[in-house]
């Protein structure tokens, strides 16, 4: 997997959070080791199926950051990671993957998106089960950490 496949997801994430929640994230150093795992409190996951590849992406937020995003989107800060925050994370996941899908389709790389799944739970870890490369990208801002993970089967 090369930068051509990863960059549309990164720009999708940065654009969605800046447009929807006036939140600027700073990308950190990517990790590529098989043993590395993304850790956080609420995650959005989505599967991707194309004619020649299969894969998955996830976006994992620390609680503080997820609550801040929600506060900036709806004007009120939720007290905890409730169902509405989950729905927001699912929607953000859909939008990031949808932006990347359109971008990659323009370059001849087609895939279909499954429906998103949201996982909530203090400090859960995500492990994408693929034979190909796994890329975890940390993102920072004052309100907390996010991890974007993109994996394809080849």
Residues that bind a second copy (CB under 8 A): 35, 43, 45-49, 54-56, 58, 83, 86-87, 90-91, 93-94, 112-130, 151, 153
Nearer to a second copy, 68 or 120 (CB): 120
Q: String of b and e for 75-91 (b: at least 16 CB within 10 Å)?
A: eeeeeebeeebbebbbb
For 145, the enclosing helix (H) or strand (E) is strand 144-152
Strands 144-152 and 54-61: antiparallel
State the nearest-atom distance from the C-beta of 106 to a second copy, in Å: 20
User: Which letter does DSSP use for residue 132 in this model?
Assistant: S
State the nearest-atom distance from the C-beta of 49 to a second copy, in Å: 4
Q: Dihedrals φ, ψ of 93, to 5°?
A: -60, -45
Nearer to a second copy, 87 or 142 (CB): 87
Nearer to a second copy, 68 or 93 (CB): 93
Length of the chain in terms of residues written: 154
Nearer to a second copy, 82 or 142 (CB): 82
State the nearest-atom distance from the C-beta of 83 to a second copy, in Å: 7
């Amino acid at each position: 997997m090369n930068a051509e496949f990863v960059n549309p997801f990164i720009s999708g994430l940065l654009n969605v959070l800046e447009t929807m929640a006036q939140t600027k994230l700073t990308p950190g150093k990517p990790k590529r080791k098989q043993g590395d795992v993304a850790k956080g409190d609420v995650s959005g996951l989505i599967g991707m199926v194309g004619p020649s590849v299969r894969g998955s992406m996830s976006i994992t937020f620390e609680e503080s950051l997820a609550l801040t995003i929600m506060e900036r989107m709806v004007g009120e800060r939720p007290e905890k990671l409730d169902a509405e925050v989950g729905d927001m994370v699912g929607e953000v996941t859909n939008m990031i993957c949808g932006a990347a899908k359109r971008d990659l389709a323009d370059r001849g790389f087609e895939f279909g998106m499954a429906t998103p799944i949201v996982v909530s739970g203090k400090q859960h870890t995500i492990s994408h089960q693929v034979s190909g490369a796994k890329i975890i990208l940390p993102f920072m801002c004052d309100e907390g950490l996010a991890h974007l993970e993109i994996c394809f089967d080849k």
